[in-house]
Structure formats: structure tokens, C-alpha cells
């Protein structure tokens, strides 16, 4: 009979990349198995951060053996939980997750500079993370949960790539609109387009980067210049622009997440141009490009309540592979403590 867990929780910054590598490699295998995602690039990046001892987080050990870890990154007054993972080889991985979450939230709730906490951890099934957070947070913190879907399309299973049940050719672009392959010169206008496209949008409740231009620039930076969300593929990424003004109308961005799998990291159309099949056009353009190269699968994530986008994806042939949650915690704003505390 195995004896019960004897968990010890230590600061992540006490550990080297070498010590954590086996656990992370195990996690990479889970990512690949569950989401077709080759997570090894992200792990190498994370290991570099670990070795520089700057990431706030915790490691769980059971009788000295590393069995779980978590970390977050700070962005202004927000903390984004980057990962929480417990080894599936442990008898009770969820109780390890629970303990890690308790330590992380205790730290973040006690940090006066952190007002908001975001988490979107794809390996957790829907309902799991919100339940753990709800059981852990203090009564003053507001918890919001947003159901999210991980969708997948098998390009080989959709041989007519104007994609069933749509017509057999791409819709024509209106003459005043031009399609361009992604180039770095579109970086800044794309950040501006993203900010405009998400004003008042559900996804800007989940990720507050969408609410400002600086945040949208950071979002773009993360998906284009970092391998955290796969390796950006400029050949499968496109923009639409108005010929007369050169103004950006829409964008679709893709990354390679495995040798045979791509991930649509962004699709948006400027509000005034919506409902004219331009989102549809961009999506099909990128799928056709992927189908003509080495991709077999295309994945993306979408909020279940983002009806127009979900409708578009389902009509294009995507189906749900996995359901997970985005969780947002808002701490009450505290009044500053007057200093000095006693006036003489």
C-alpha cells in the first residue's frame, strides 16, 4: 500500500532548469497527446526563464521528488498564471494542483500591487480550475469564468478546401480590397486593428491586453516574436486592406504548433467591415495555404459565447476537441493606507 502524499511546497526560484526539465518534458508529452501541440519550444523558453530565477511560482515535492509546479508573470497590476501542472503519474494530481493554487493565490492576493489575475490553462477540463479557484480565494475577490473551446480541423478530411458546406471556390474579394501576405510592416496597424476589433468584446473581459493599444502590441509581440504559442508562420498569415487608404480591414495570424499542425492565433475584422464574408475569406485563405504545405491539422481557441466567430468556424468545418475555461479574478481596490499612520 502506498503511503499518503507528504507535500512540501517551495519557491520556484530555488530550482534550476535541470531539476525541472523531466517534469516539463512529461507535460510536453501530455500537450502533444491531448492537443496535438508540440510544446517543446515553449518549454525551452520556460527553462531559460527558470534558470534566470525570475519567475514567481512554486514547486511541489512529495518526499523530495518534484511532482508539480506553477508560475505566473506580472504585467503591470495584473498577474497571468502561466502554468499549473502536476504529474499524471502521481496518485492524486488534483490535490497537488489544489495545493499549488492555494499557495499561488495566497501570494497574489496578499500582493498590494496585483489587482487582477488571469488564467487560461488549456490542459484542465472545463469546470476543474474554476472549482479549485472558488474554493481557494478570499470572499472579497470576484471570480469570473468564461467557457472556451479548443477547435480542430483535419485538412485531409476536408478534401474540397473551399471547405464544405461552403461553395467550391473562395468568395470574390470586392475590388476595393486587397489581400496581402503578412509582412512586419503591418505590425503596428495590426495592433491598432486588434484594439479596435475587441472594443466591448467578450474576449477583452478575459484578456485585458485587448483593451489598449499597448496591450494589443504586447499580445502581437507574444504571438509573433515568441515561441510560447507556436512558431509564427508569416506564409500562412494574411491581411486585408483597403486599396484607396491602405487602411487595414482584417487580419488572420497563424503559428506552427507541431510539424503537421497549425494554430490560428488571431482572426479579426474591423467592426465597420463585418458581415461581408471577409472573416470567412481570410480564414479560408489561411486554410488553403496550410493545406498546400505540410499541415494536416489546424486548431484554434474561441469563447463559447462568441457566437459570430464560433458560427464561422463551425460552418468552415471545425469541431470541438476540448473544452476548458478562462478564469479572471478581480481583487477589491483597497484605499491607500495613510502614512505616517499617526499625525502628531
Q: Which is nearer to ligand COA, 21 or 274 (CB)?
A: 274
Asked if 144 and 206 touch (Cβ cutoff 8 Å), the reply is no
Q: How far is CA 334 from CA 113, 230, 329, in A?
A: 10, 39, 15
Q: Which is nearer to ligand COA, 9 or 252 (CB)?
A: 252
Q: Which is nearer to ligand COA, 42 or 216 (CB)?
A: 216
DSSP, residue by residue, 94-139: HHHHHHHHHHHHHHHHT-TT--EEEE--TTSPTTHHHHHHHHHS-T
Rounded distance between C-alpha atoms, residue 148 and residue 35, angstroms: 14
Asked if 252 and 184 touch (Cβ cutoff 8 Å), the reply is no
Q: How many CA atoms lie within 13 A of 316 on its CB side?
A: 29
Q: Is 306 in the site for ligand COA (CB under 6 A)?
A: yes
Q: Is 302 in the site for ligand COA (CB under 6 A)?
A: yes
Asked if 259 and 246 touch (Cβ cutoff 8 Å), the reply is no
Q: Which is nearer to ligand COA, 105 or 149 (CB)?
A: 149
Q: Is 111 in the site for ligand COA (CB under 6 A)?
A: no
Residue 77: name the closest of 325, 326, 331 by CA.
331
The interface mask with ligand COA, positions 239-278, x = CB under 6 A, is: ----------------------------xxx----xxxxx
- Shortest Cβ 282–ligand COA spacing (Å): 7
Asked if 295 and 255 touch (Cβ cutoff 8 Å), the reply is no
The interface mask with ligand COA, positions 192-211, x = CB under 6 A, is: -----x---x----------
Q: Is 218 in the site for ligand COA (CB under 6 A)?
A: no
Stretch that binds ligand COA, among 44-52, 237-245, 288-296, 311-319 (CB under 6 A): 311-319
Stretch that binds ligand COA, among 5-13, 104-112, 179-187, 299-307 (CB under 6 A): 299-307
Q: Which is nearer to ligand COA, 87 or 207 (CB)?
A: 207
Rounded distance between C-alpha atoms, residue 104 and residue 121, angstroms: 15
- Residue in 307, 319, 323, 332 binding ligand COA, rule: CB under 6 A: 307
Residue 290: name the closest of 96, 200, 193, 155 by CA.
155
C-alpha cell at 238: 494574411
- Residue in 79, 81, 206, 309 binding ligand COA, rule: CB under 6 A: 309
Give me the residues that bind ligand COA (CB under 6 A), please. Answer: 197, 201, 267-269, 274-280, 302, 306-309, 311-312, 315
Amino acid at each position: 500500500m502506498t503511503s499518503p502524499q507528504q507535500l512540501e511546497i517551495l519557491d520556484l526560484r530555488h530550482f534550476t532548469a535541470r531539476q525541472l526539465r523531466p517534469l516539463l518534458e512529461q507535460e510536453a508529452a501530455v500537450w502533444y497527446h491531448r492537443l496535438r501541440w508540440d510544446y517543446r519550444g515553449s518549454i525551452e523558453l520556460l527553462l531559460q526563464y527558470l534558470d534566470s530565477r525570475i519567475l514567481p511560482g512554486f514547486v511541489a515535492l512529495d518526499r523530495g521528488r518534484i511532482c508539480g509546479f506553477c508560475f505566473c508573470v506580472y504585467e503591470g497590476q495584473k498577474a497571468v498564471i502561466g502554468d499549473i501542472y502536476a504529474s499524471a503519474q502521481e496518485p492524486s494530481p488534483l490535490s497537488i494542483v489544489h495545493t499549488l493554487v492555494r499557495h499561488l493565490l495566497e501570494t497574489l492576493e496578499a500582493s498590494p500591487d496585483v489587482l487582477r489575475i488571469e488564467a487560461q490553462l488549456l490542459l484542465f477540463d472545463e469546470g476543474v480550475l474554476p472549482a479549485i479557484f472558488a474554493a481557494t480565494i478570499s470572499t472579497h475577490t470576484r471570480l469570473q469564468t468564461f467557457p472556451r473551446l479548443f477547435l480542430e480541423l483535419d485538412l485531409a478530411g476536408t478534401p474540397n478546401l473551399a471547405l464544405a458546406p461552403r461553395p467550391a471556390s473562395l468568395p470574390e474579394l470586392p475590388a476595393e480590397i486587397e489581400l496581402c501576405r503578412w509582412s512586419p510592416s503591418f505590425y503596428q496597424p495590426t495592433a491598432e486593428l486588434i484594439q479596435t476589433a475587441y472594443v466591448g468584446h467578450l474576449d477583452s473581459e478575459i484578456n485585458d491586453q485587448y483593451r489598449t493599444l499597448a496591450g494589443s502590441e504586447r499580445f502581437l509581440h507574444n504571438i509573433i516574436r515568441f515561441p510560447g504559442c507556436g512558431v509564427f508562420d508569416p506564409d500562412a498569415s494574411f491581411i486585408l486592406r483597403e486599396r484607396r487608404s491602405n487602411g487595414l480591414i482584417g487580419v488572420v495570424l497563424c503559428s506552427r504548433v507541431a510539424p503537421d499542425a497549425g494554430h490560428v492565433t488571431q482572426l479579426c475584422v474591423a467592426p465597420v467591415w463585418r458581415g461581408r464574408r471577409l472573416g470567412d475569406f481570410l480564414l479560408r485563405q489561411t486554410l488553403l495555404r496550410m493545406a498546400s504545405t505540410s499541415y494536416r491539422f489546424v486548431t484554434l481557441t474561441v469563447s463559447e459565447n462568441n457566437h459570430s466567430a464560433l458560427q464561422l468556424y463551425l460552418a468552415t468545418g471545425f469541431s470541438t476537441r476540448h473544452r476548458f475555461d478562462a478564469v479572471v479574478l478581480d481583487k477589491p481596490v483597497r484605499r491607500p493606507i495613510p502614512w505616517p499612520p499617526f499625525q502628531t
